[in-house]
Amino acid sequence: MNWTRQYPGWAMFAAMIGLLAFLWGMAVPLAAAPAPIGPAAEQFADGARVTVGLTLIAGTVGVLIGVLAGLGKLSKFWPLRWLCDSYVWLIRGTPLLLQILFVWLAFPLLMPEGIELSDFACAAIALSLNIGAYNTECVRAGILAVPHGQVEAARALGLTPMQTFMDVVLPQSMRVALPALANNLASLVKDSSLAYAISVVELTMVGYRVQAESYQPIPVFVTVAAIYLILTTAFTTLTAALEAQLDVGQKR
């Protein structure tokens, strides 16, 4: 995608507009398709919007978790470091499907009486925790990549530890970590399909229901695959343009 490097601002704008137009306009061309796709066009559109909603929520929360846990893994306070290490070890060592089922079945029992979690909320929590663990290692590597001399120079200029981190370390570390974070986001689009296991009516669940009613799996799942390809392409274009905008990986 060389054009994203040449015109990153326009590429980001085009990707966002294209994604919005696709989500709210895809039912029109799908409605013209023969059965079983045409009659279920609005269902596919609704499922795609739920998938994107899960991706955006979990992706945003996952970055916040990654930054906090990444700092925790570098902390000199060993209980915090141990806690963050254990979190990453546990999440990366167990299947995402198991994590989704655990949140769905166990979290409602742990919540205060009167507070209920929807299936969508349970899926969003599980996906956030999962991608947060992978983002943790990306952020930690990004922080370690910042030359220590820059930290010492900032302290010598009178910046406080918080100012040094926010103004010097964090911006540079996020630039380094951005390609890996973007890759995790693209994977999250596809991983969100596991939310079907707890009855979240996202794109995969819609496809499963339509093929169960029509007994025509080939056109249904080809359509689902095509929608996923378009969604991942939009997110990949958006993140690639963001990398270009920040000059990530550019050699001068």
pLDDT of 241 higher than 70: yes
pLDDT, one tens digit per residue, over 164-206 is: 888 888 888 888 898 899 899 989 999 999 999 999 999 999 9
pLDDT, one tens digit per residue, over 69-85 is: 999 999 989 999 999 99
Residue showing tokens 């530890």: 161
pLDDT, one tens digit per residue, over 10-58 is: 777 888 898 899 999 999 999 999 999 999 999 999 999 999 999 999 9
Please give the backbone phi and psi of residue 75, each rounded to the nearest 5 degrees, phi first. Answer: -70, 150
- For the residues 104-121, what does the mean pLDDT come to? 87
Helix axes 41-73, 170-191, angle to 10 degrees: 140
Q: How far apart are CA 139 and CA 94, in angstroms?
A: 21
44 within some domain: no
89 within some domain: yes
127 within some domain: yes
How many domains does one find in the chain?
1
pLDDT of 252 higher than 50: no
- For the residues 237-241, what does the mean pLDDT come to? 84
Residue showing tokens 């010598």: 156
**Share above pLDDT 90 across residues of the chain, in percent, rounded to a whole number:** 63
1 within some domain: no
pLDDT of 2 higher than 90: no
Q: Are the beta carbons of 84 and 72 closer than 8 angstroms?
A: yes
Domain of 148 in residue numbering reads as: 7-21+63-245
129 within some domain: yes
Residue 145 CA: distances (Å) to CA of 33, 139, 148, 166? 51, 10, 9, 15
Q: DSSP string spanning 37-75?
A: TGGGHHHHHHHHHHHHHHHHHHHHHHHHHHHHHHHHHT-
What ranges in the chain are assigned the alpha helix state H? 2-6, 8-25, 27-31, 41-73, 78-92, 96-110, 119-145, 148-156, 161-164, 170-191, 203-214, 217-245
Q: What is the pLDDT of residue 248?
A: 55
Q: What is the pLDDT of residue 251?
A: 44
Residues 6+ apart with CB under 8 A from 127: 54, 58, 62, 96, 100, 188, 191, 192, 195
48 within some domain: no
75 within some domain: yes
Confidence of residue 244 (pLDDT cuts 50, 70, 90): confident
Helix axes 41-73, 217-245, angle to 10 degrees: 40
**Tokens linked to 63:** 């970055």
pLDDT of 61 higher than 90: yes
pLDDT of 249 higher than 60: no
Q: What is the CATH number of the domain that holds 220?
A: 1.10.3720.10
Residue 203 CA: distances (Å) to CA of 21, 48, 99, 188, 234? 17, 5, 20, 13, 16
Q: How far apart are CA 45 and CA 31, in angstroms?
A: 10
